[in-house]
Amino acid sequence: MLLQNLLHYANAFGLSLSSVQNALMAPAFPQDEWDSLKEQVEGRLFQTKPFAYPCFSGSVSSPECDLVRSDYKTMRTQYPSAYTQTQWETCQATSEGCLIDPTSPSSISSTAKHCSQGSVPQYFIDVSSPKDIAAAFNFSKTTKTPLVIKNTGHDYNGRSSAPGSLALWTHNLKNMSFDPEFLSEGCSRSQRKPAMTVGAGVQWGEAYKFADAHNITIVGGADQNVGVVGGWLQGGGHGSLSNVMGMGVDRVLQFSVVTPDGQYRIANECQNEDLFFALRGGGGGTFGVVMDASILASPRITLQAVFLKFSPNVSVTEEMWSIMAANGLKWANDGWGGYSMAQVLILVNPKLTKQEAQESLADLLDFGERLERNGVAGFQMTVTELPSWYDFFEMFVEGNVATTGTSLALASRLVSKSNFATPQRRAELVSGLLAADAATPGLIILMTTPASTPSSGMTSVNEAWRSSLYHVTVISPWNWNATKEEQTSHYEKASASIDNLRNITPDAAYFNEADVYEPSYKVAFWGTHYPELLRIKRKYDPDHLLDCWHCVGWNPQSERFSCYL
């Protein structure tokens, strides 16, 4: 993979691979400082050009540009300069960037003549060891160069890009191992537990395959391209098994992390406990650079699953969401998790037998039978038992990945159990969901909260996760060549859409999928934990080498945020 990426850059610059490997960038600081950094990281320091650069620097029919166009909406996570949402490759404040039309990447617009660095980091280190990270921290402290941490670039708030920055690219840390009797380091008093240790570059699709091959189950997200132990894990990641089996932060046993003082540390319940607490929900890119994490592995599980789909029909959507609301508390207690959009419902359960599942979902199965009898357009319904999580993932989830190569605003809200408590509250909730989906089509209901998993008191996510049943997201996309004013309007539109739920729910949102301009973000992301997280931030990062948008202790006046609107 590294070779493929180096070839991409070599071709983009019209250079040989060896010249890319050996060349230093035009220094912004004395040459000897760059020489020293490159030597310390054993040559893995590279200049970063925007992903679409080859289509502007030479012929649009060149093999290099063809590679960009073929991968523009599919393989972006493999490149250090590419981001899932393309506005984070640009400087939105100045409308500078290097994008092509994602709806027609085979043709380069005649208006697309300018390519600038935007928010793409100037340089990146292909991280392979803790000493690479320590060298980067020292370099940042000496030169005041901003640092960002990047694996896949799946970041809706732009935290892994910044103008003029140095990126720590962790994507090639692909180590995975399974220990059926894992003991957290220094924890003689703890019981041994089965654990899967995962490097910072591993993505969920890779992790699920590994887990299945070892007859184990791990709790993760729905998008196979998202990283396992970076922002997802540290910011409160969750999935359709989280109701019964907990969030990612509930299941992590140990982190290996390099803190901004350059020290390689092990953080678990027995050492560096405060750092362990902060990494379990305090947000990625804030307290250190995680090299790997060991997460609890459960035995292979049998799953009951339901898949329901129909063609767009507002009245049918309203009835489906009303049935979901009426059964929300019961279904959570019964162990169901899953996802819904206006025309889709996917449910999965690791607790019930086939007969118990049918009894639990009686209202939904009756609804499906009515849709079939009435000949509702596009109706499909599957009720099945599957022998493992990986089988469920392959059948229902694997193809549902985040839209890539486009720009969009996203906002989210946690929906409390209290919103399901009475017929009036349920009707209010359904009305809010319908209004939000009408304002910004594409609303997703994620039944992925740890509603049946009590808090250990040792995680730093907002405790509202435990008292919520839904996590809901909305989006508002824009064209690749949208103006600054148009982009601003879409951020406002997404925020106004989620107001339909903000107005009827407690102040809580998912850190990784929140409104970029989330009001009261400290409370929404961390509840009462923020003061303690800020204390830990100041302890481990007194020089503020790590900073990111709406992260703990962030500095809004920093130049690294100059490209935000």
pLDDT in tens, the chain (565 residues): 443 444 444 444 333 333 333 333 344 566 788 789 999 999 999 999 999 999 888 777 789 988 998 899 888 999 999 999 999 999 999 999 999 998 887 666 544 568 999 999 999 999 999 999 999 999 999 999 999 999 999 999 999 999 999 999 999 999 999 999 999 999 986 789 999 999 999 999 999 999 999 999 999 999 999 999 999 999 999 999 999 999 999 999 999 999 999 999 999 999 999 999 999 999 999 999 999 999 999 999 999 999 999 999 999 999 999 999 999 999 999 999 999 999 999 999 999 999 999 999 999 999 999 999 999 999 999 999 999 999 999 987 766 778 899 999 999 999 999 999 999 999 999 999 999 999 999 999 999 999 999 999 999 999 999 999 999 999 999 999 999 999 999 999 999 999 999 999 999 999 999 999 999 999 999 999 999 999 999 999 999 999 999 999 999 999 999 999 9
CA distances from 308 to 340, 342, 345, 362, 461 (A): 9, 11, 5, 14, 32
Domains, the chain, ranges and CATH? 2-169 (3.30.43.10), 176-300+527-561 (3.30.465.10), 303-525 (3.40.462.20)
Smallest CA-to-CA distance from 105 within 407, 406, 477, 486 is with 406
pLDDT at site 28: 56
Rounded to an integer, what is the distance from CA 550 to the centroid of its chain? 15
Question: How far is 435 from 284, CA to CA, in rounded Å?
Answer: 33
Are the beta carbons of 257 and 288 closer than 8 angstroms? Answer: yes
pLDDT of residue 58: 73
Query: What proportions of the chain, in percent to the nearest 5, are helix, strand and coil?
Result: 35, 20, 45
Residue 521 CB neighbour total at 10 angstroms: 20
**Rounded CA separation 460/77 (Å):** 28
What pLDDT sits at residue 533?
Answer: 98
- Which pLDDT score, from 0 to 100, does residue 62 have? 86
Say what the pLDDT of residue 397 is. 73
In the prediction, which pLDDT does 171 show?
98
What is the three-class DSSP state of 9? helix
pTM: 0.93
pLDDT at position 113 = 60
pLDDT value at residue 433 = 98
Q: What digits encode the pLDDT tens for the residues 169-206? A: 999 999 999 999 999 999 986 789 999 999 999 999 99
Check if the beta carbon of residue 67 is closer than 8 Å to that of residue 54: yes
**C-beta contacts of 256-259 below 8 A and 24+ residues apart:** 256/290, 256/291, 256/292, 256/293, 257/287, 257/288, 257/289, 257/290, 257/291, 258/130, 258/133, 258/134, 258/137, 258/288, 258/289, 258/291, 259/287, 259/288, 259/540, 259/541
- Which of these, 188, 57, 12, 34, lies nearest to 125 by C-alpha position? 34
**Residue-level pLDDT at 30:** 67
The pLDDT score that the predictor gives to residue 109 is 58
